């Protein structure tokens, strides 16, 4: 199989984690006889520095022509602390989502038993957690009308949703539930918001098309509480843009590190894969960032290409590194491995070069994983 992948390294730790995913994809390609071609393009603070805009038109063109997009991270502290900045790196990501119509953001949350100790939640709460969030990504308050007056004594963000926007992502969420534990929870604020009542109405109306899926509703304030009190009650969570943004960061507490969570943003004809963590500028260039969120996003890309066996193998390799605690500093601040070493270990596992015994000393010397 030949696939053309647009790669956007972006800012901060984006380049170094994405490099690991490329190494893993290349190893998969070699093992299974595929060819992945990469086209590198700019977005984020680096694009502002080099071109004056966070998303050059050329990047959109390359992405539109590609089969999928591998995305690192964008953001820079110099913009975070300056609310008056007119041009911001995040605008690049939002514009990319909108331009490519990536309306469904899919965020799986897994709890690894060897990492239970990292979570502030009790192991008993974490056992058997396996949930997935379907977050609407191109509508709602993120993209509504924005206004403010001259002296900024008031500001306004409008929130709009249409029946079509609700239905297209709800179909994907219902279908995901059918493949999983057959439970779908719509999270909204229908006791207060008109847009939430619209979501409820149309999702409810779709339910008879999916008779095998049990549909339930939860207000977002209660959902935020239930997600950490009893996360195993959830299978597929469907929600609008802002609620999904907040709940998915909250859900990362279940995995133990934000660095572990992958995501896929899909539309009708394109898809973008990115870790949910941000640019984490303080760690940039130090080879300490966790590459697993990006590598697991690459596994989602393989799923999207329908390369199921390949995706399973990459996930198995990730689980193997976690189980052996070949992990980065966010997970083990004392006995940690470098970003690039974790990437190499995963490649070695994927290519079948790890047969059981591993040369711990070589790994520690960052030389090789092979005996």
Choose the catalytic residue: 112, 134, 142, 161.
142
Quick one: 98 or 197, whose CB is closer to Mn ion? 98
Q: Which of residues 217-256 bind Mn ion (CB under 5 A)?
A: 245
Annotated catalytic residue 349: no
93 binds ligand IPM (CB under 6 A): yes
Annotated catalytic residue 49: no
Q: Look up residue 35 and give its two tokens.
A: 């060819």
CB of 107 to ligand IPM, least distance (A): 9
Annotated catalytic residue 212: no
**Coil, helix or strand for 266?**
strand
Which helix (H) or strand (E) is 243 found in, with range? helix 241-255
Q: Look up residue 94 and give its two tokens.
A: 């939002």
Closest CA to 7 of 63, 57, 59, 70: 70
Torsion of CA 74, 12, 70, 345, to 10 degrees: -150
Choose the catalytic residue: 130, 249, 303, 332.
249
Closest CA to 95 of 60, 58, 132: 60
Q: Look up residue 30 and give its two tokens.
A: 């070699």
CB of 91 to ligand IPM, least distance (A): 8
Measured distance CA(289)–CA(238) in Å, rounded: 30
CB of 74 to Mn ion, least distance (A): 12
Quick one: 235 or 245, whose CB is closer to Mn ion? 245
CB of 24 to Mn ion, least distance (A): 24
Q: Which of residues 170-199 bind Mn ion (CB under 5 A)?
A: none
Question: In the stretch 47-86, what mask flags binding to ligand IPM with x, by CB under 6 A?
Answer: ----------------------------------------
Q: Are 147 and 156 in contact (CB under 8 A)?
A: yes
Among 90, 130, 250, 332, which residue interacts with ligand IPM (rule: CB under 6 A)? Answer: 90
Q: Which among Mn ion, ligand IPM, none contacts residue 26 (Cβ within 5 to 8 A by kind)?
A: none
Strands 262-266 and 271-275: antiparallel
- CA–CA distances in Å: residue 358 to residues 90, 326, 340, 344, 345: 42, 12, 17, 13, 10
Q: Are 55 and 95 in contact (CB under 8 A)?
A: yes
Q: Which among Mn ion, ligand IPM, none contacts residue 104 (Cβ within 5 to 8 A by kind)?
A: none
Please measure the distance between the N-terminal and C-terminal CA atoms of the chain and give it in whole angstroms: 32
125 binds ligand IPM (CB under 6 A): no
Q: Determine the residue with CB nearest Mn ion.
A: 245
Q: Which among Mn ion, ligand IPM, none contacts residue 48 (Cβ within 5 to 8 A by kind)?
A: none
Question: In the stretch 240-279, what mask flags binding to ligand IPM with x, by CB under 6 A?
Answer: -----x------------------------------x---
Q: Look up residue 355 and give its two tokens.
A: 């047969």
- Interface residues toward ligand IPM, by CB under 6 A: 90, 93-94, 245, 276
Would you name the residues annotated as active-site residues? 142, 189, 221, 245, 249
């Amino acid at each position: 199989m030949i696939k053309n992948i647009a790669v956007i390294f972006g800012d901060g730790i984006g380049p170094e984690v994405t490099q690991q995913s490329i190494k893993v994809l290349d190893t998969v390609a070699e093992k299974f006889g595929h060819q992945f071609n990469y086209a590198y393009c700019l977005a984020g603070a680096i694009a502002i520095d080099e071109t004056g805009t966070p998303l050059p038109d050329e990047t959109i063109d390359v992405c539109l022509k590609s089969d999928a997009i591998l995305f690192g991270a964008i953001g820079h502290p110099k913009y975070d602390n300056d609310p008056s900045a007119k041009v911001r790196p995040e605008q690049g990501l939002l514009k990319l989502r909108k331009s490519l119509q990536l309306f469904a953001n899919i965020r799986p949350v897994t709890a690894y038993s060897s990492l239970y100790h990292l979570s502030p939640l009790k192991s008993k709460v974490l056992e058997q957690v396996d949930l997935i969030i379907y977050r609407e990504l191109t509508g709602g308050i993120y993209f509504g009308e924005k206004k403010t007056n001259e002296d900024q004594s008031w500001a306004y963000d409008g929130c709009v949703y249409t029946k079509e926007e609700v239905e297209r992502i709800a179909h994907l969420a219902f279908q995901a539930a059918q493949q999983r534990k057959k439970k779908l929870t719509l999270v909204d604020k229908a006791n207060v918001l008109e847009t939430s009542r619209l979501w409820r109405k149309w999702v409810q109306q779709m339910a008879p098309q999916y008779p095998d899926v049990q549909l339930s509703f939860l207000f977002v304030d209660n959902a935020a509480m239930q997600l950490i009190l009893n996360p195993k009650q959830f299978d597929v969570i469907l929600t609008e843009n802002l609620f999904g943004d907040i709940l998915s960061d909250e859900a990362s507490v279940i995995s133990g590190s934000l660095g572990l969570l992958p995501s896929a943003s899909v539309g009708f004809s394109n898809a973008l894969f990115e870790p949910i963590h941000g640019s984490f500028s303080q760690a940039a260039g130090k080879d300490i960032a966790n590459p697993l969120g990006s590598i697991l996003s690459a596994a989602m890309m393989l799923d999207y290409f329908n390369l199921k066996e390949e995706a399973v193998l990459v996930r198995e390799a990730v689980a193997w590194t976690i189980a052996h605690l070949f992990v980065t500093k966010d997970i083990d601040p004392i006995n940690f491995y470098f970003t690039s070493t974790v990437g190499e270990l995963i490649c070695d596992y994927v290519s079948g070069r790890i047969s059981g015994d591993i040369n711990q000393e070589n790994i520690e010397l960052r030389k090789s994983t092979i005996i």
